[in-house]
Amino acid sequence: MKLKLFVWTEFQPDYSGGLAFAIAETEAQAREMIEKDYSWGVSEWGTLQILPLNTPIAFQVSGGS
């Protein structure tokens, strides 16, 4: 099993973009996990970054109005 970190910025934007992430083997599995947890239905995923989990990783998203 080779896990990856899937990070969506600008997820479900309203006044500002949101952030969603999942640790999964595939993008399809990651999306399914997020959709299961997000009760309103995902209409805009935003920008996807796929990061390997074999090295230290830092990630941040600034918020705003």
pLDDT digits (tens, 9 = 90+) for 7-63: 999 999 888 888 999 999 999 999 999 999 888 889 999 999 999 888 787 877 777
15 part of a folded domain: yes
3-state secondary structure the chain: CCCEEEEEEEECCCCCCEEEEEEECCHHHHHHHHHHHCCCCCCCCCEEEEEECCCCCCCCCCCCC
Domain count, the chain: 1
Amino acid at 11: F
The model carries a pTM of: 0.83
64 part of a folded domain: no
22 part of a folded domain: yes
Residues of the domain holding 30: 4-52
9 part of a folded domain: yes
23 part of a folded domain: yes
42 part of a folded domain: yes
